[in-house]
Structure 1
Amino acid sequence: MRRKGRLAAVLALALCCLACTGSGSLHQETFTLAPAEKPVTNPLKGWAPWNGNQREDFDSTLAFVSVSWRELEPEQGVYAFDQMERAHQIDQLRRQGVRLVLRVVCDYPGKEPHLDIPDWLYEETGGTWYEGEYGSGCSPDYRDPAFLEAHGRLLEALGQRYDHDPYVAYIQLGSLGHWGEWHVDEEAGIDPFPSQEVTDCYVEQYRAAFPHKQLMLRRPYGIGAELGLGLYNDAFAQAGSHQEWLGWIADGYRSSENGEQLDGMPDFWHNGASGGEFATDRDVWAYVLEDYEATLEYIRSSHTSWIGPRCFGSETLADLPPEQRDLAAARVNALSQELGYCFAVTQVQVRQWANAPDLNVTLTVENMGVAPIYENWPLCLRLVDPGGAVLRQEMVDGRITEWLPGTNTLSYTFAGSGSLPPGHYSLQLGIVDPITGQPGIRLANSGETEPCLYQLAAFEKRY
């Protein structure tokens, strides 16, 4: 009896499904797309040379801007942002569509003793003058409450100026240590680097000032994991040092600066960008000639989105012997292809039901890169007739920051598209740059009809 009851239930369910299918006949077409060659350049990734030092041999969509507190606030409460932007050619970079990696520095060692903080701040908080292996300068007292309070006011002003500036893509948490790299030369007579209790205060100031920006730390800290921050490595691809940095990220570490045990930031790159610059222990061309395979592996294992300011965006092929130039150029471009995200639409499904005739599309998107994109740019989806007329254009939140390396899907229904007459149509896709309002990301797909706009499928609408 139980078997008969179960069989009757199954038959009833099957008849119900058949009835539903009959009344809502589904027309579905599936298109498989083969990925094309990876684009060499795209926004928010690649090379980030010093501002004003870009070279024509290799494209760059980023520029690195390092500014001292002394430049930014020469008088207490008086911010020289306009003057700083002129000095660093910021308007020219904006006109070129170049986005910025910004770092504030309080101690940049040089050949001669000098201050990188304002005179008024030094008079209030002091500092340690030094001459050492890195050069000469003055290391501020980062523990001084007055210094920390003034730093918070500076960041508040910077945030008001740049937190909503779309041209500022990444902000490195410099501020502390030589070059903003979160270490000091104790052998030059400088007090040890401040404790995590102090450095966390600086991190919190940055997050409060820049709630909408990608922030990046020089080394992993627990607060970085909590806030979803990125990391930068200014000794990128240096044998030994780079592996150690990856170990810090995975497992935590004991600080060589002050002996504290610090937490790691495993999988930080899911939410925060990975960047840095090539180490200075060898000629930059060595990274694509003698050490190419190792450099490629460091990019992959670090999930790196961009490299700068010491990078190929500021190099010229003419500096190499003629017989090395073609190989070097090909490898530089191959590294650029590997950096960051790379999107390819690999499958399109178009569905329509007779009793619910609005068109539904499902895209399978392969991220062939090593990292996601870190800004949520909207998608532009278009329905186009055979004559090229755009019948529907929708701006869609695809949550593309969640497109990690691997396979991702997006489903969307064109509301009201059921009123379109039966016939043949095409589906087009572009990822829209918020600055220009136009498609701005190159896909690893063929079928580009306009810059960064791709025809994905031609299909039949039956209902």
Structure 2
Amino acid sequence: MPVPVRPSRRLRQALLAALAAVALALFPAAQAWALAPVPGGVPPRPQAPASPDPSLQAHPLTAAPAPLDNPLKGFARFYWPGSDQNTGYPHSLTWSYFGLSEVMTDPADCSKINWSLLDSALNEIASYGNQAAVRFYLEYPGGSGTHPANAIPRCFDGHVTYRTNTYWSTTSPDYDNPYLLDALGDFIAAFGARYDGDPRIGFIHLGLIGLWGEWHTWPYDTDTGGDSYPNFMPTDAHAAQILRAYDDAFDKTKLELRYPDSAAGAATNLDIGYHDDSFCYREGSPLAGVTLPQSLGGAGWAQLQRALNVGAENKWITASMGGEVRPEIQTSAFASWPGGSGQVDNMKACIELEHTTWKINEQSVNYPAGDPNVAAAVRLMGYNLTVDNAYFKNTASGTTNVGVRISNNGVAPFYYPWTLTLGLKNSAGTVVKTFDTPWDLRTVMPLKIRAFPDWGVGSDPAYLDHGYPQYFQTGVNLSGVPSGSYQWVLRVKNPLEAVSANAKKLRFANATQGADGWLGLGPVTVGSGGGTDTTAPTAPAGLTSPSRTAGSVALSWTASTDNVGVAGYRVYRGSTEVGTSATTSFTDTGLSPATSYTYTVKAYDAAGNTSAASAPVTVTTLPSSTAGLVLDDFDGNPAYPSAARNDLGKWTGGNCFLNGGGSGAVSGGALGLRYDNCGWFGSDVNTGLSAYTHLVIRIKGAAGGEQSHFHLGLGGVTKAFGDFTLDGGGHPAITTAYQDIKLPMAANGINRSSPGQLAMSFWHGGNSTITIDSISFQ
């Protein structure tokens, strides 16, 4: 295969720009094709999962940023034969076009198909550990450099009428021709018979129809009343015939179509997703988005407006959403994350509302690997899975149950039924036994979804509860496993592993995730004891309480050591064991206000050996009068950011911070937000505050003076934190020591009956770290 001619890519970008400019003038006359909007509306929530087996011990796992090259999500680079496909920003997808004439090569017989070109590309892509996304086309203005401009098979000659698209200088076949329709139907059937479920392919774009296979022949398209050009597109009935052929041929590999309303929306009832080839671009004068709907400044022909028009905006629940970051903005698409600037639309809104899983982005080759904006976008795209708890007995033998609870903080599910496998690792780190499970990752839906303004459920942005932390449990038989100390581990099998030793592994957003793909779930003793291990761990040291409320005490301590390994810690209030922890922190809840409690902690190992008690610490809870309504005290319950819940049970999260994978990090019962002129933290209140007079934030800064670095918004008021008014007329000033900054809500104009979301934005200059111990209303 010849080496690609890269200038042809620039030619395509220039052609796209010309298309956009001319289309803008014609689209007002082309609105006749737009259907009356019939949004699908708020999708129903999935059924809540079962609860964990109460006989199993819970083992909390710590969240951490997910890897940037997880399979089947994020960016796709173009396939250049013979070049290193893993250069540039981390990715796991490779994109390529193929002309139909390159595989349908017999000029006398359209039924003879030579798949060697496609197989060669798929094998090379797989050798780098990547999956492919592919499209076949018939007409490609200018050609790709590697593939021809005119890809109409010669076996169509004499059977199919050819027309000339004079604007693009392409040959356009009669897409309504019966011979062509039969030949395309046979090709699609053969394509599916050979490649459906092929682990080398992640996504297939339907292609075949129109320029670049993008299902338009502009300006020879359907708006014949708005210009002098005839219509070269197939009828809706014939287009639907092609859609059904693909849907019949592919049951396993995910399919994508350019426009939601193609063939009068026929794809809405088929297992076909969408492929937005001009993702998050703004064009025209005044600028209008071509992804976001009209309710968010989009054009009438925008991708999501077209989805709303046919009620397909929730198709992402079962079908993937791919496409391409518009070439003109690829270099600058994430510079203004999470919003946009100029021709770049609100990128975060585009990803959230389209439920984007992947995008072609050739210019990602030039992105710095440490760019926090790009990382935040990639982690938001598609799935972002965290195991927040594992459930198993600390000592087990024979048949035993193991469970995990998985949360999805991305915008889409994982779309393939890849196998989840449990394993046992010995002390040398070797997996000695594995157990395939029946768990289905496709059921782990995003915890939150962003509402379209068209749904009328609140001001934008409004986030709705959707998925749940999904609980899976299965029985495993430990017969034959020698008695001793092990660790439970979990991995997801990428089917590409059967083809390529370099197949990239699906990994979780957890601190115990290994590069080998195995996620550590926690220690377990197999058998009645731990062999000859009779050595107890050292006593925990440094027991302290970093925070407290009227009803809870947070505890932390220094880790113990053990000759084999510490399995966990038992926490005692007086002489009563109140809980266990797999980490060096614990929060005791359900306490009485203004009451003193004394705590100690003991460490234990997998063999059941228990340490001496730590030195005690006595903590007095706060008086009830100061408790108020706690929005969040960051005590680890719920865990931030993995649970995406505050103490009111509402959504919370952050992005663009320099710690915690962009979300900020909780340590010692407080939330640290490290920023450099970028960052956003939000926590939904969405409950009336009429019974409370003050917003109270217990806060400190790394250097002091950080009150001018961020804006705070609540109840319709947003301004620099230092500009809020305190009782007596002063203004907040952050110091290096914790202080309770009390903001009178009425005096600051905060709407207490409809407070909405408390938000902090850090795009106002300055860099430092602020630490928030608690946020409450009193």
The residue type paired with residue 125 of structure 1 is V
Q: Please identify, of 44-53 and 426-435, the stretch whose mean Cα deviation from structure 2 is larger.
A: 44-53
Q: CA deviation at 1:237?
A: 0.3
Aligned residue in 2 for 1:306:
358
The residue number in structure 2 matching 1:359 is: 400
Question: Which residue number in structure 2 is paired with residue 119 of structure 1?
Answer: 154
* Bigger shift: residues 368-377 or 221-230: 221-230
> After superposition, where does 1:209-288 map in structure 2 within 5 Å?
209-221=249-261, 222-239=265-282, 240-243=289-292, 244-250=302-308, 252=309, 263-280=310-327, 282-288=328-334
Task: Pick the aligned partner of 2:182 from 112, 124, 149.
Answer: 149
Residue aligning to 1:137: 170
Partner of 2:376: 334
Q: What is the identity, as a one-letter code, of the residue corresponding to 1:289?
A: A
Tell me the CA shift for residue 43 of structure 1: 0.8
1:81 equivalent in structure 2: 115
Shift of 1:305: 0.8
CA distance in 2: counterparts of 1:28 and 1:120, whole angstroms: 65
Matches within 5 A, 1:293-442: 293=339, 294-308=346-360, 310-313=361-364, 315-316=365-366, 329-351=371-393, 358-386=399-427, 388=429, 390=431, 392-406=433-447, 407-417=468-478, 424-436=485-497, 440-442=505-507
Q: In the superposition, relative to structure 1, how do residues 188 and 365 fare at CA in structure 2: closer, same or farther (>3 Å)? A: farther
Q: Which residue of 1 aligns with 2:68?
A: 40
Partner Cα distance (1:357, 1:83) in 2: 52
In the alignment, the residues of structure 2 paired with residue 216 and residue 103 of structure 1 have an alpha-carbon distance, to the nearest angstrom, of 10
Q: Is the 8 A contact 2:413 2:444 kept in 1?
A: yes
Q: TM-score, normalised by structure 1?
A: 0.80
CA distance in 1, matches of 2:374, 2:486: 40
| Aligned match of 1:110 | 142
Residue 34 of structure 1 aligns with an amino acid whose one-letter code is T
Work out the CA distance in 2 between the residues paired with 1:423 and 1:26: 25
User: Which of 508, 515, 518 is the equivalent residue of 1:453?
Assistant: 518
Q: Distance in 2 between matches of 1:352 and 1:428?
A: 14
The secondary structure found in structure 2 opposite 1:177 is coil
Residue 49 of structure 1: SS of its match in structure 2?
Answer: strand
CA contact (8 A) 1:359 1:418 kept: no
Higher radius of gyration, 1 or 2: 2
Q: CA deviation at 1:108?
A: 1.3
- 1:228–1:408 Cα change, 3 Å: farther
Higher helix share: 1
Q: How far is the alpha carbon of 1:104 from its aligned partner? A: 1.1
Distance 1:228 1:171 in 2: 12
Deviation (angstroms), 1:419 = 8.0
Superimposed CA distance per residue, residues 301-333 of structure 1 (whole angstroms, 9 cap, x where no aligned partner): 21111101x4444x335xxxxxxx688x44333
Distance 1:423 1:84 in 2: 50
| 1:31–1:108 distance in 2 versus 1, CA, 3 Å | same
Distance 1:206 1:449, change over 3 A: closer
**Cα separation, partners in 2 of 1:409 and 1:122, compared to 1, 3 Å:** same
Counterpart AA for 1:348: A
Q: State how far apart, in whole Å, the 2-side matches of 1:344 and 1:163 are.
A: 29
Q: Which residue of 2 aligns with 1:56?
A: 87
Say if 1:130 and 1:190, in contact at 8 Å, map to a contact too.
no
Question: Matches of 1:241 and 1:193 in 2, distance apart?
Answer: 21
Question: Any idea what SS the aligned residue of 2:166 has?
Answer: strand
C-alpha distance 42-127 of structure 1, shift in aligned 2 (>3 A): same
Shift of 1:426: 2.1
Is the alpha carbon distance of 1:456 and 1:279 closer, same or farther for their aligned partners in structure 2, counting shifts above 3 Å?
same
CA contact (8 A) 2:426 2:486 kept: yes
Query: By how many angstroms is 1:161 displaced?
Result: 2.8
- Report how many aligned residue pairs link the two structures: 412
Of 200, 225, 238, 1:198 maps to 238
Amino acid at match of 2:290: S
**Corresponding position of 1:289:** 335
Q: For 1:277 and 1:149, locate their aligned partners in 2 and report how far apart those are by CA, in whole Å.
A: 30
Note the C-alpha offset of 1:152: 1.1
CA RMSD of aligned residues (A): 3.0
Sequence identity percentage? 24
Q: 1:424 to 1:48 in 2, by over 3 A?
A: same
Q: Which runs of 5+ in 1 are unaligned?
A: 1-24, 253-262, 318-324
Secondary structure, in 3 states, of the residue corresponding to 1:128? strand
Distance (whole Å) between structure 1 residues aligned to residue 170 and residue 515 of structure 2: 52
Distance in 2 (CA, whole Å) between partners of 1:43 and 1:364 is: 21
**For residues 196 and 229 of structure 1, what CA distance do their matches in structure 2 show?**
16
| SS of alignment partner, residue 158 of structure 2 | helix
